[in-house]
Amino acid sequence: MTSRLLPTYARTDLAFERGEGAWLTATTGERYLDFGSGVAVNALGHAHPALVIALTEQAQKVWHVSNIYRIPEGERLAARLCEATFADTVFFCNSGAEALEAAIKVARKYHAADGHPERFRIITFDGAFHGRTLATLAAGGNKKYLDGFGPVAEGFDQVPFADLAAVRKAIGPGTAAILIEPVQGEGGVRVVPPHFLRALRQLCDEHGLLLVFDEVQTGIGRTGNLFAYQNLGVTPDVMSSAKGIGGGFPLGACLATAEAAKGMTAGTHGSTFGGNPLAMAVGHAVLDVVLAPGFLDGVRHKSILLRQRLAEIQDRYPGVLAEIRGEGLLLGMRAVVPNGELVDALRAEKLLTIAAGDNVVRLLPPLIVGEEDIADALVRIDRACAAVSRAHARPVETGAVA
Ligand SMILES: *Cc1c(COP(=O)(O)O)cnc(C)c1O
């Protein structure tokens, strides 16, 4: 049967009907170990009892009321996020791209409120990914995604990855902000050096720019702290969150200091669904788990475990794996062979992973993943590397000239 879905995804011919923890059961009955988490979304795995309870209990009360009324669950969730971060204020939306749209608008409006509407340009980085709306595509600057969609939204200046001199050169009288992912996710789990992020903070302070962190993929415990900036000693002015924040329920958030958000008065932005009671109930349940004492320590511990063993596997298969990198449970295996081939081999071993840029295979297990699941995954990774290695084995060159 051909699908009536718009064919914008090259989908793998695999469908799932249920999940539990780090495991998914396909419609064929086969079980897969999920180290993709729906691209870093299922932070608490599948069917986490606390999320199931939160969702079903709220579903029996009220789902949606609109932002023309107060939403106490949202006021409480915003307060909790502010309590746990640098932020003073939160805007809720439904996706990562929307969280970035809000962040871009906050940054522009900040300067407009200061009497400088001409300062709307935002510096972004090569390899970035900020979403698929027209503005976030322009911010990401990926030619392949922009092609054929008309004029590229104005106001984004892209510079090479981690190139401070290029950032300095790009700053002009029209610059409003610098936007960066502390670890590029889609770009290939490229960790931005902390000293570079600190230098960006300094540049922003010198030039009166806002520093905007896109933590859509790195946030909500993924890198071993609630947000990646908390590992770094660098604090942004504005930050986007999504993916893990709803544990699978569509939820995004833009966090900001009161100063950065000073232009965002009544009527300047909105969302019909954003922050509705159903989403807020799930958001609270995710935070309850992630902020519980010891949970983030556990993420860091599991990260070390996984990384050490991955390094051993890399040593055994230098013809398959070139590098292991990342933070927390956002890990990348840069492949020697085409990364899609490795993803396929891993899936053949019933381990789900996600391809990324720079020929990387991402490992994004749910944060609740057990040590026995990690051990299980490592056996599968070893077997997949062995299979790929065999497939690429070539007769040894003799050096003889024909
Ligand atoms: C996934 C992602 C986005 C876009 O999120 P959507 O929910 O798909 O709109 C933006 N920024 C980063 C860093 C992401 O990983």
**pLDDT score of 400 more than 90:** no
Residue 312 is encoded by which pair of tokens? 């051993």
Read off the pLDDT band of 2 (50, 70, 90). Answer: confident
Residue in 8, 98, 130 to alter for ligand 1 test, most ligand atoms within 8 A of Cβ: 130
Backbone Cα Rg of the chain:
22
Residue 37 is encoded by which pair of tokens? 């988490």
Question: Nearest CA to 242 among 225, 223, 261, 217?
Answer: 217
Convert the pLDDT of each residue in 286-296 to its tens digit. Answer: 999 999 999 99
Name the residue with the closest Cα to ligand 1, atom 11. Answer: 130
Question: Nearest CA to 184 among 35, 307, 330?
Answer: 330
Name the residue with the closest Cα to ligand 1, atom 6. Answer: 96
Convert the pLDDT of each residue in 332-375 to its tens digit. Answer: 999 999 999 999 999 999 999 999 999 999 999 999 999 999 99
Determine the pLDDT at residue 398: 52
Ligand 1: nearest atom to the Cα of 252: 7
Ligand 1: nearest atom to the Cα of 100: 10
Ligand 1: nearest atom to the Cα of 181: 13
Rounded to an integer, the average pLDDT of 130-137 is 98
The percentage of residues in the chain with a pLDDT greater than 90, rounded to a whole number, is: 97
Can you tell me the distance from the alpha carbon of 374 to that of 33, in angstroms, rounded to the nearest whole number? Answer: 10
Any alpha helices (H) in 254-399, and if so which ranges?
Answer: 277-290, 295-316, 339-348, 371-392
Question: Nearest CA to 250 among 282, 288, 284?
Answer: 282
Cα of 361 vs centre of ligand 1, distance in Å, is 17
Ligand 1: nearest atom to the Cα of 133: 9
Cα of 333 vs centre of ligand 1, distance in Å, is 20
Cα of 384 vs centre of ligand 1, distance in Å, is 29
Cα–chain-centroid distance for residue 136?
14
- Cβ–Cβ < 8 Å for 325, 221: no
Q: Which residues contact 163 (CB under 8 A, 6 or more apart)?
A: none
Convert the pLDDT of each residue in 208-226 to its tens digit. Answer: 999 999 999 999 999 999 9
**pLDDT score of 402 more than 60:** no
Determine the pLDDT at residue 1: 65
Cα of 84 vs centre of ligand 1, distance in Å, is 22
Convert the pLDDT of each residue in 277-315 to its tens digit. Answer: 999 999 999 999 999 999 999 999 999 999 999 999 999
Residue in 95, 243, 249 to alter for ligand 1 test, most ligand atoms within 8 A of Cβ: 243
The percentage of residues in the chain with a pLDDT greater than 70, rounded to a whole number, is: 98
Query: In sequence order, what are the beta bridge partners of 334?
Result: 323, 360
Ligand 1: nearest atom to the Cα of 132: 9
Determine the pLDDT at residue 182: 98
Ligand 1: nearest atom to the Cα of 184: 13
Name the residue with the closest Cα to ligand 1, atom 10. Answer: 130
**pLDDT score of 275 more than 80:** yes
Helix 339-348 with 371-392: angle, nearest 10 deg: 120
Cα–chain-centroid distance for residue 31?
25
Question: Nearest CA to 93 among 101, 82, 83?
Answer: 101
Convert the pLDDT of each residue in 229-265 to its tens digit. Answer: 999 999 999 999 999 999 999 999 999 999 999 999 9
All domains in the chain, ordered by first residue: 16-40+294-392 (3.90.1150.10), 49-290 (3.40.640.10)
Q: What is the mean pLDDT of the chain?
A: 97
Cα of 387 vs centre of ligand 1, distance in Å, is 33
Read off the pLDDT band of 78 (50, 70, 90). Answer: very high
Residue 238 is encoded by which pair of tokens? 């504005």
Read off the pLDDT band of 4 (50, 70, 90). Answer: very high
**pLDDT score of 80 more than 60:** yes
Convert the pLDDT of each residue in 12-53 to its tens digit. Answer: 999 999 999 999 999 999 999 999 999 999 999 999 999 999
Determine the pLDDT at residue 393: 87
Cα of 136 vs centre of ligand 1, distance in Å, is 9
Rounded to an integer, the average pLDDT of 147-151 is 97
**Ligand 1 site residues, Cβ closer than 6 angstroms:** 95-97, 100, 129-131, 181, 185-186, 214, 216-217, 242-243
Ligand 1: nearest atom to the Cα of 186: 15
Cα of 42 vs centre of ligand 1, distance in Å, is 14
